[in-house]
Structure 1
């Protein structure tokens, strides 16, 4: 903001600041991550019917092989070549993205600065399909997606039960959180006087409707 003010002074112009949003980076918690992975393996991933596998295969054929390989490469997917021809991941992978920055944003990250938090994913659509794509919607909207939700729900329930019945686990997660937060405190990045950018959202929606 100071740079913008300086530029305006130097050029004899004015400027207006429009605050659209802000969020923190996600603060990881290895204790919770290990707990969730353990529960995922104990529960075991869903098994798919021949119909579901055939559906996934047909959807997978609409994702160009090089596009899929590029997506896996960008995600630094382990043993990339092994999964190029895989449509549905049917195993619990070892975490591989510690210290990596995800190309996206979520207000869950803000929560992670207030209490121990972790995120995990389950197979809801074919590997390599772009998020928010019709391929993702098609798979998520049928039984493949439903099984993904059930698996995730069971994992969350199992992890929560462990934290309730094993106080030492909860204590470890809290201690790790405190260690990561040392000398830091959460402060909402959005000023109190900022109103939701409804006009921006409305304009974007109208532009999208015109294109459609």
Structure 2
């Protein structure tokens, strides 16, 4: 069984050269046997597939299913596919994005205490300058070069990144196919903080994170109020949403009889 998993991984790695540049394919062998001198009768791997458009994900997914079949045939094993999750790509909305920026500026930046800033300085010491610069470059934020020597981003820039590809995944994207939707970020961490890190967690649970959370909540409330009170703004956002969909319809990536895989991560 482990032979089949390894052959599948090899096949997928050869496939990478033939898919679009912005696709991401991640995998991990969750179960690979117990003893090195015993051929495992059971093995399991977990795959994640990402691409800019849902149609591209489906195409790569189906190719990987064929590779799994081939690996099973080569090793005379049986294989089973367990579908865990699936999401769509986000549909942006500049109308609401510009309204959010307007409200951010109206509300004003969070005011951090001396204690907040002292804590931020200690966190910043744990982030190498090279890593900070790489994070800023990756953000593609206009004027990122001016932030290299700053602790926290203390400006509210105009919306940017139209047409850029984000390599993260979220089920907020599925909502964006049903109604005009926007995501935005606030200065919760010191500049250069890596995602999924202890620095990330540490800052979210103290003043930096709490004050940014309140700032975000006020921004969302003000934007919702604008959309409720300004019919023209709401219609403009809806029209933009319709135009960006280009007649495409949402079809759930989940199989019709799919149930939450509550036991998927049991060892």
TM-score w.r.t. the length of structure 1 is: 0.87
Partners of 2:68 and 2:107 lie apart in 1 by: 56
Q: How does 1:184-199 map to 2 (within 5 A)?
A: 184-199=248-263
The match for 1:115 is 179
Aligned partners of 1:26 and 1:108 also within 8 Å: yes
The match for 2:221 is 157
What SS class does the counterpart of residue 266 from structure 2 fall into?
A: helix
123, 128, 141: which is aligned to 1:59? 123
RMSD (Å), alpha carbons: 2.0
Aligned partners of 1:8 and 1:14 also within 8 Å: no
The match for 2:70 is 7
TM-score w.r.t. the length of structure 2 is: 0.70
Higher strand share: 2
Partners of 1:3 and 1:149 lie apart in 2 by: 45
Partners of 2:147 and 2:68 lie apart in 1 by: 51
Partners of 2:184 and 2:204 lie apart in 1 by: 16
Partners of 1:187 and 1:110 lie apart in 2 by: 10
Aligned partners of 2:72 and 2:79 also within 8 Å: no
* CA positional deviation for 1:4: 4.3
The match for 1:79 is 143
Specify whether residues 20 and 48 from structure 1 end up closer, same or farther in structure 2 by C-alpha distance, changes over 3 A only. Answer: same
5+ unaligned residues in a row in structure 2: which ranges?
Answer: 1-61
Number of residue equivalences: 203
Q: How does 1:114-193 map to 2 (within 5 A)?
A: 114-193=178-257
Specify whether residues 178 and 8 from structure 1 end up closer, same or farther in structure 2 by C-alpha distance, changes over 3 A only. Answer: same
5+ unaligned residues in a row in structure 1: which ranges?
Answer: 204-212
102, 105, 122: which is aligned to 2:166? 102
* CA positional deviation for 1:199: 3.1
* CA positional deviation for 1:9: 9.4
